[in-house]
Amino acid sequence: MPGGSARVGGISRRALLGGAAAAGLTAMTAGCGGGDDDAVTFFFQARPEEARSRLLIIEEFQRRRPDIKIRTIMSGPDPLQQMLTYCAGGKCPDVLMAWELLYAGLADRGVLVDLREFLDRDPVYAAELAADGYAPLRNTFVWKDGQYALPEQWSGVFLYYNRKLFEQAGIQPPGRWADAWSFDEFLAAAKTLTHRGSDGRVRQWGFVDAWVPYFSAACFGMNNGAEWFSPPVRPGRTNIGDPHFAEGFGFYADLAVEHRVAPSVGDRQSVSAQDLFCSGRAAMLMGGHWLYSEFTGRDDLDFDVTVLPVGPHGGPGAITDVGSTGLAIAAASPRREQAWEFVKFATGPEGQALIAASGLFVPVLKSAMHAPGFAAAHRGIRNLEVFTEGPANSRQLAVTPLWGKVESLLERGCNRVLRGAATADSLGGQTASDIDAVLRAAT
């Protein structure tokens, strides 16, 4: 929450979460002090709706296991630094929320337990969990052959669209990742759905983006047949200079810069993508499931979901980012066994069924994904396969303990392209060279 975050790896989906989520949730605590010293402490970040859903899982776990108490710790705006501060001070929470782009740094520092310690004890359960889950999500949290977190939710990005506006334009978008539309089809739709007044000002945008723009652009690059980093886990180089990646990245940038079917960087500062979509002034919005609860239940918004477009060198189906968070256990925890019981519950069939029925998360187990509770929580969505097939069509962005340094270089170079100050081909020069130098230092 993806992911994405308090700049959690730069992912704005996590920026949506914010420390304000603690307001009104009396079960939350602000820090490690106080409360039951024998309780398992659980550190996470969430919006209020998400926090309430987590509380349901905690309450059900404690109903089944009254011998294990859970005390929650709400993250502030910089969860990575907060976790490091806690752990350096000898007060590391027992269970930690893990982000796809950040957990490697903690694993590399020895902060997290390799969960194989528990999975190897119960090979039958481990095999059942692996068979019920999705390899792209599970493997995201494998670092140097260790399983340092188990996935708990999927939140890859896709497209929300306004059904009324699409029907008026006579456009029918695809409903499955395998049946993706092309870049040309997507652009034609965005042009048709962009309306301007007599003064030339845009009254309705064809496309808006509620994620971090250069992450979104990277997904377009990946959908044109090139990885962002190779390999995605413990990468040795970036592929932003690959012609196919650059073409896809440039296609995204040109939606605003050349075609004017999307707001420019300056336009985005004056109004949010969510507001434009909710008010009917945008026909499509790029974002993740974290926005579903914000859009559903509005009488004035009839929406559905569709997949990202595929470029001429991509396919055959569309892909998205993993967008997963996981649950990890602190290596310094004196309550490892109790912590494992909670992690096992939350990431296993019972906890995932609760997540599915809540409608606030997309579960990471097939059994929960295809259970009646998940469909019931999304009864207004006709293209439910965009959610249920999303995890299997996900790809990692980058998993490296040096992500902070890499991201600062990416942000500087990519934002010049997104502003129209440079072409996407330019990323293959100094930006790629500087990133590769950072990555080589880690190998």
Q: Is 277 exposed, middle or buried (0-12, 13-18, 19+ CB in 10 A)?
A: buried
3-state class (DSSP) for residue 337: helix
Compute the residue count for the chain.
443
Note whether 230 and 237 are within 8 A (CB): yes
The label of the residue with tokens 């957990």 reads 103
2.60.40.770, 3.40.190.10, 2.102.10.10, 3.30.70.141: which CATH number matches 12-155+322-369?
3.40.190.10
Task: Report the DSSP beta bridge partners of residue 328.
Answer: 96
Note whether 120 and 252 are within 8 A (CB): no
Q: What is the pLDDT of residue 202?
A: 94
**DSSP-derived secondary structure letter, 395:** E
To the nearest 10°, report the CA torsion of 81, 85, 87, 92.
Answer: -80
d(CA 331, CA 287): 34
To the nearest 10°, report the CA torsion of 133, 136, 137, 143.
Answer: 120
d(CA 256, CA 51): 35
Structure tokens at 341: 């019981």
User: Which regions in the chain score pLDDT beneath 70?
Assistant: 1-36, 442-443
Q: How distant, in Å, are the alpha carbons of 133, 223, 320 from that of 367?
A: 9, 28, 22
25-30's contacts with Cβ under 8 Å and 24+ in sequence apart are 25/51, 25/52, 25/55, 25/74, 27/55, 27/58, 27/72, 28/72, 28/73, 28/74, 29/71, 29/72, 29/73, 29/74, 30/73, 30/74
Structure tokens at 273: 């993508």
The label of the residue with tokens 């949290």 reads 141
d(CA 4, CA 19): 15
Domain boundaries, the chain: 12-155+322-369, 157-321
Q: What is the pLDDT of residue 180?
A: 97
Q: What is the pLDDT of residue 28?
A: 35
Q: Is 127 exposed, middle or buried (0-12, 13-18, 19+ CB in 10 A)?
A: exposed
pTM: 0.90
User: What Rg, from alpha-carbon coordinates, does the chain have?
Assistant: 21
3-state class (DSSP) for residue 116: helix
Strands 303-306 and 157-162: antiparallel
Strands 208-209 and 284-288: parallel
- Residue 61, Cβ neighbours under 10 Å: how many? 21
Q: At the topology level of CATH, where does 157-321 sit?
A: D-Maltodextrin-Binding Protein; domain 2 (3.40.190)
Query: Nearest CA to 390 among 97, 151, 190, 229?
Result: 151
Domains 12-155+322-369 and 157-321 share a fold: yes
Q: What is the pLDDT of residue 18?
A: 30
- Residue 184, Cβ neighbours under 10 Å: how many? 12
Q: What is the pLDDT of residue 133?
A: 97
d(CA 367, CA 356): 10
Structure tokens at 251: 């296609």
Q: What is the pLDDT of residue 443?
A: 61
3-state class (DSSP) for residue 71: strand
Note whether 61 and 31 are within 8 A (CB): no
d(CA 233, CA 318): 21
